[in-house]
Structure 1
Amino acid sequence: MGFERDALIAACAAHGRVARVVLAEVRGSAPREPGTAMLIWPEGQSGTVGGGTLEHELTRAARAALSGGGADRLSRHALGPDLGQCCGGHVLALTEIYDSARAEALPEDMIARGPGEMPLRVTRLLAQARNGTVAPRAQLVEGWMVEPVAHPTRQIWIWGAGHVGRALVSVLGPLPDVAITWVDTDMARFPGGNPPAGVTLLPASEPAALARYAPKAALHLIVTYSHALDLAVCDALLRHGFGFAGLIGSQTKKARFRKRLAEAGHGPDAFTRLTCPIGDPTLGKHPQQIALGVAVQVLHVEAQTQLGESPTKKDRA
């Protein structure tokens, strides 16, 4: 989790002045952790800090500040006594008002701001975070809010822009720290309009040729309109390497691909590295049902990777 600088810049460009509300400090039981943030403008918002009443009050106050020319402010909220929530904790929220000039002037690594001269503790913390001796995290230090800028840590490649590919982008795109590379044979295959934030469109007449440009640890979801394309991508990824690769299909398709990849020179264990079929067939075959099952599977794979474990046999089935 971190300060989503690019999203703030985009929101200011689209809506003018934007309020950013971040949980600066959390004590006791609370819906979300420090560093959780949301963006608010007069007609809408993005993100959530959790807790219905807390978010409602923070959103109302942020809109009042936007309309009245309000300044940045820290506010303390006792979730039980003040807001009637079941959580018994206390939250300190920082509300800041940004326009494009202020947003674009923010640093690209660590963002620290607060009243008066920067405290020595904050100076040291920034230096330690930048030289890698301390893992950066969102925190309030002597009245100064310090946050690392968010950068994608999960690279997901989606091969195919049909109904299932579009459903996957809609489900996986909003996840934090995700960058999606979306591949298909022609630009006309993608939906019209600008792609969602964090999604890069990559048209290519021969999609499999792009596999060699993917990060070695990337996750791949293969859902093209053509079995031949699917097979070519599988072949290319097995030769290139990957963190996870999942293929949409049936048990019949799985058996055929196993045989054809063996004929292409891959060893007997190569196909066990691919997950086929992806998702949870028990959820149904509607594209959104497939996407939901795949998203859960991807999150499980990510969790296992962070714990230093290998995906389970079930994940690779």
Structure 2
Amino acid sequence: MLEVAAACAGRGVGGAMATVIERHGSAPGTPGQKLFLALDGTCVGTVGGGAIERAALEALMTLVRSEEGKHAVREFKLGPELGMCCGGRLSVLLEPIAALVPCLIVGAGHVATAVAPLLAKVGFAVTVVDEREEWGGESRIPSARCVTGEFDEIGREVDVRGACLVMTHDHQIDQRAIEWALRRGFAYVGGVGSRAKAERTRQRLEAKGVSEADRARVRMPIGVDIGARLPEEIAVSIAAELIAWRKRGR
């Protein structure tokens, strides 16, 4: 159960765990048994089956969908309310399993190579995509999933409650990627570029009918202003901005 929960969290998919901590009387379930439910529907384990498991799953689903879910101990009685007459009860610990924050990086160049491992170290589930074979190698960037392909195909696998960072080798691809990220509804959309490039990007968005609210959501140049110039310095500034965004509750 823990391996599945960790794998989901590592992909940016949150969940919740139910663990039997006490059994009283005639009741299914043994202390230590676990049931895990993820936001994407992944479900493994058991706390005893039957009506009591259905009630536990309902409690887990409520916890998974809540943004402010907290640990709690619930007591499930095997009485008329569950349609059972066993008479026993289970004490179950319900725990939210927080996920890493999903982050899609479009472009696997020098800045992406520097920032992806840094973001992975501070709690982001990073996917880097590049259309160029030589840049999208699977193991090229440590701690990040790095793949060759089209951003709009690979990006469908990334939860839009996360961030999309655009930093490709081509301004036209950057423009298309930013437009796509806004349409998909990523919570955070940012791009690497000069202030002049940022202004041109917003002008093109306006010409295509993108709303003022969405245009304002584009962070470009991305990163805290620390006078960064080198890719490693830019990576620090980007990581700082994303940490601040996450801490503000996204």
Tell me if TM exceeds 0.5. Answer: yes
CA distance in 1, matches of 2:33, 2:139: 42
Task: Name 1:159's counterpart in structure 2.
Answer: 106
SS at match of 2:181: helix
2:134 matched to 1:181?
A: no
Which consecutive residues of structure 2, in runs of 5 or more, have no partner in the other structure?
8-14, 24-29, 35-46, 48-54, 64-68, 73-92
Give the equivalent residue in structure 1 for 2:198: 254
Deviation sequence 1:104-132 (CA, Å, 0-9, x none): xxxx97598xxxxx862894996698643
Cα distance in 1 for partners of 2:247, 2:198 equals 26
**Contact 2:70 / 2:95 at 8 angstroms: preserved in 1?**
no
Instruction: Give runs of aligned pairs for residues 167-246 of structure 1, distance below 5 A.
Output: 167-176=114-123, 178-190=124-136, 193=139, 196-197=142-143, 199-204=144-149, 206-208=150-152, 210-246=154-190
Q: How much identity, in percent, do the aligned residues show?
A: 23
Name the SS of the counterpart of 2:220 in structure 1.
Answer: coil
Does the CA contact (< 8 Å) of 1:162 and 1:189 recur in 2? yes
- 5+ residue gaps, structure 1, are 10-107, 113-117, 138-145, 307-317
Structure 1 residue 194: deviation in Å?
6.3
Three-state SS of the structure 2 residue aligned to 1:245 is: strand
Distance 1:214 1:252 in 2: 30
Q: Compute the displacement of 1:135 (Å).
A: 3.6
Larger RCO, structures 1/2 (Cα 8 Å, 6+ apart): 2
**Contact between 1:184 and 1:207, CA under 8 Å: does it hold in 2?**
yes
Tell me the number of residue pairs that the alignment of Structure 1 and Structure 2 aligns. Answer: 189
TM-score w.r.t. length of structure 2: 0.62
Distance 1:296 1:246 in 2: 13
Q: Cα offset for 1:136?
A: 4.4
Shift of 1:295: 0.8
Contact 1:224 1:230 in 2 (8 A): yes
In 1, distance between residues paired with 2:157 and 2:173? 17
* Partner secondary structure for residue 224 of structure 1: coil
Indicate the residue corresponding to 1:263 in structure 2. 207
For residues 136 and 234 of structure 2, what CA distance do their matches in structure 1 show? 19
Render the CA deviation track for 1:188-226: whole Å, top value 9, x for unaligned.
Answer: 2136746544x322322x434554554221211111111
**Deviation of 1:303 (Å):** 1.2
The residue that corresponds to 2:89 in the other structure is none
Q: Do the aligned partners of residues 269 and 149 (structure 1) sit closer, same or farther apart at CA in structure 2, a change above 3 Å counting?
A: closer
For residue 288 of structure 1, give the secondary structure of its aligned residue in structure 2.
helix
- Alignment partner, residue 43 of structure 1: none
Question: What is the deviation of 1:147?
Answer: 11
- Aligned Cα RMSD in Å? 3.7
The alignment partner of 2:165 has SS state of: strand
Aligned position for 1:295: 239
Which residue of 1 is the match for residue 222 of structure 2? 278
**Equivalent residue, structure 2, for 1:18:** none
Decide whether the 8 Å contact of 1:281 with 1:290 is kept in 2: no
Would the alpha carbon gap of residues 200 and 147 (structure 1) be closer, same or farther in structure 2, given more than 3 Å must change? farther
TM-score (norm 1): 0.50
3-state SS in 1 of match to 2:212: coil
How much does 1:162 deviate? Answer: 0.6
Instruction: Provide the C-alpha distance between the structure 1 equivalents of 2:32 and 2:118, rounded to a whole number of angstroms.
Output: 39
